[in-house]
Amino acid sequence: MYTDLKARIVEVARYLEEHGLNHGRSGNISLRIPGVNHVLITPSGLVKSRLSSEDIVVVDVNGSIVEGHRKPSSEVNLHLAIYRARGDVNAVIHAHTVYATALAVARRPLPPVIEEAILVIGGEVKVAEFAPYGTLQLAENVVKALEGRKAALLANHGVVAVGESLEEALEVLVSLERLSQVYLLSEILTGGKTPLLPPEAVSRLLGK
């Protein structure tokens, strides 16, 4: 079931490792099947760059296994909470990137420093309050931080990127990491006084 979609998840997992966006056993990826109430998700505890299609688990909206011989990701609650809250989201990528995670550890939101931050992500990337991984509290905190945008930082943990498709979620994640790098370098060059986009530019891009 869903052979092609499972293969695509495996491809994205390998892409993340190859491009320094995730490493080892960390991170997780999921894809919702609209109208079926099924979610494809990476398994818990395996090196993500070595996954095969057979490792991908299919769960229902309650997290019960529909298909697969692996245990679903420990963050399955996080993924399902996002899908319940966001009808516009069909794919979720949670990763431990370097620059964006540095902001998450410092608990500093990523402000809109270039127009891409608005066009791709939806505005300032907020930091979800800390909660232990895999908990319902973390899921609730991330859903709150994601409101109105497509990415969030997880305090002392990592990042989440979402999209209508797996391709869009990946685009958001790549953009988030690049913007985080630009912002941190700018903070060094300006002594912590990075100029942000003017409010009127933000409003125009948001269509307000």
Each residue's pLDDT tens digit in the chain (208 positions)? 899 999 999 999 999 999 999 999 999 999 999 888 899 999 999 999 999 999 999 999 999 999 999 999 999 999 999 999 999 999 999 999 999 999 999 999 999 999 999 999 999 999 999 999 999 999 999 999 999 999 999 999 999 999 999 999 999 999 999 999 999 999 999 999 999 999 888 888 888 6
**pLDDT value at residue 205:** 86
pTM metric for this prediction:
0.96
Give one DSSP letter per residue of 146-193, joined into a string.
Answer: HTTSSEEEETTTEEEEEESSHHHHHHHHHHHHHHHHHHHHHHHHHTS-
Q: What is the pLDDT of residue 151?
A: 98
Residues 6+ apart with CB under 8 A from 178: none
* Residue partners of 179: CB distance under 8 A and separation at least 6: 110, 113, 114, 116, 117, 121, 125
SS3 40: strand
Vertex 174: Cα angle to 168 and 179 (nearest 5): 120
Q: Which domains does the chain have, with CATH numbers?
A: 3-207 (3.40.225.10)
Task: Count the neighbouring beta carbons within 10 Å of the beta carbon of residue 188.
Answer: 9
Residue-level pLDDT at 65: 96
User: DSSP 3-state assignment of 89?
Assistant: coil
Q: Please give the pLDDT value at position 165.
A: 97
pLDDT of residue 208: 63
The two structure tokens encoding residue 19? 């491009």
- Residues annotated as part of the active site: 75
- Residue type at 143 in one-letter notation: V
200 is written with which tokens? 């009127």
CA distance 14 to 48: 7
Supply the DSSP symbol for 50: G
